[in-house]
C-alpha cells in the first residue's frame, strides 16, 4: 500500500472524532512493530523519525528513512512517514527528498517572534515541496530539560501563531511531558477545547506516554487529533529484552531478544490505536 500523507490521515481522524496515533521510530524493529500494530488494530498510524533519532544514526537520515518508508509501503494499512522535532533547517529541507510527506519544525526554543520568522520560512519551503507542516508554540515539558512542566499554550497566541506562520497543525502544551515512564500527567481538557475553538488547524499532543487512557480519550474528544507516543513503546521494548536476557544469560542471537522486544512494541501500538479509535 502506498504511503499516505499526514494531511489525509489527520483529516480522516478529525472527521471521525478519533485520535491518530503517531509513534517514534528509532531502529528497524520500531518501524516493523508500528506497522504490525497498526495492522492488528486495523487502524492508520504515523511513523515518526525525530532529529534525535537521525543523530543516533550518525546524522544520516537516508538509511533509516528508507527502511521506515519500505516498511510502510509493504503494510496493509495506511501509514504516513513524518519527520519529527526537526530543529535544523537543512534537515527539514531534506524531508521531501527522503519520502516524507510531512514534518514538524520545532523552533519553540526561540522567543515568539523568532519562532514565527523561522517557522514561516520553513513552512513556505515545505509547502513548495508539497509537505504538511506541524509546529509548536510555547514549550512542552521534558524536552532536553529546557522547559518547565507548568507551561501552557495560550489560545489567543496560538491563533496568532498559526495565522502568522501558515502551519498545518499545531503541537500544544496542555499538561503532558516528554519522556515520562509513568502515566501521571494531567491534561487540561478545558484548555484543549478552548484551543480547538481558537485554532483553525488540527491539534497535536506530544508526550502522550505519560497520559492515562481516560485522559487520552478525553483529550481527543476535546479536540486533539494527532497523539504522539514514544516512551511507552520503548519501555515495552526494554522490558521484553531485559526479561528475555535475564531468562537466558547465555543468549547471544539478537533475533531472539529483539524479536521479543518487537512483539512487545507491537502490542503497545495496537492497544493505543484501538483506544484512540474509540474516542
Query: Annotated active-site positions, please?
Result: 84
In residues, how long is the chain? 279
**Phi and psi torsions of 15, nearest 5°:** -65, -30
Mapping DSSP to helix (H, G, I), strand (E, B) and coil, where does residue 56 land?
helix
- How far from 24 is each of 4, 6, 47, CA to CA, in Å? 17, 15, 6
d(CA 186, CA 95): 33
Q: Residue 216, SS3?
A: helix
Whether residue 36 contacts residue 272, with contact meaning beta carbons closer than 8 Å, is answered with: no
Contacts of 252 (CB under 8 A, 6+ apart): none
Those residues whose C-beta lies under 8 Å from the C-beta of residue 59, and which sit 6 or more positions away, are: none
Q: What distance in Å separates the CA atoms of residue 173 and residue 41, rounded to the nearest whole number?
A: 28
Amino acid at each position: 500500500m502506498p504511503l499516505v500523507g499526514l494531511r489525509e490521515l489527520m483529516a480522516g481522524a478529525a472527521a471521525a472524532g478519533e485520535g491518530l496515533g503517531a509513534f517514534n521510530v528509532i531502529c528497524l524493529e520500531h518501524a516493523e512493530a508500528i506497522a504490525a500494530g497498526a495492522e492488528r488494530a486495523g487502524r492508520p498510524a504515523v511513523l515518526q523519525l525525530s532529529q534525535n533519532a537521525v543523530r543516533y544514526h550518525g546524522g544520516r537520515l537516508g538509511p533509516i528513512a528508507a527502511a521506515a518508508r519500505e516498511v510502510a509501503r509493504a503494510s496493509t494499512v495506511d501509514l504516513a512517514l513524518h519527520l519529527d522535532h526537526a530543529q535544523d533547517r537543512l534537515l527539514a529541507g531534506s524531508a521531501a527528498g527522503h519520502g516524507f510527506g510531512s514534518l514538524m519544525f520545532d523552533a519553540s526554543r526561540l522567543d515568539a517572534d523568532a519562532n514565527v520568522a523561522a517557522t514561516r520560512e520553513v513552512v513556505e519551503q515545505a509547502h513548495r515541496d508539497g509537505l504538511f507542516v506541524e509546529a509548536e508554540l510555547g514549550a512542552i515539558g521534558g524536552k532536553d530539560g529546557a522547559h518547565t512542566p507548568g507551561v501552557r499554550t495560550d489560545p489567543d497566541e496560538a491563533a496568532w501563531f498559526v495565522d502568522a506562520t501558515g502551519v498545518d497543525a499545531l503541537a500544544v502544551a496542555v499538561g503532558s511531558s516528554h519522556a515520562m515512564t509513568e502515566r501521571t500527567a494531567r491534561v487540561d481538557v478545558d484548555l484543549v477545547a478552548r484551543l480547538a475553538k481558537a485554532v483553525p488547524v488540527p491539534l497535536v499532543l506530544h508526550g502522550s506516554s505519560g497520559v492515562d487512557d481516560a485522559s487520552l480519550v478525553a483529550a481527543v474528544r476535546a479536540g486533539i487529533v494527532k497523539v504522539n507516543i514514544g516512551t511507552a513503546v520503548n519501555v515495552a521494548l526494554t522490558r521484553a529484552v531485559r526479561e528475555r536476557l535475564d531468562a537466558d544469560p547465555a543468549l547471544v542471537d539478537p533475533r531472539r531478544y529483539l524479536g521479543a522486544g518487537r512483539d512487545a512494541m507491537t502490542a503497545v501500538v495496537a492497544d493505543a490505536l484501538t483506544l484512540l479509535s474509540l474516542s
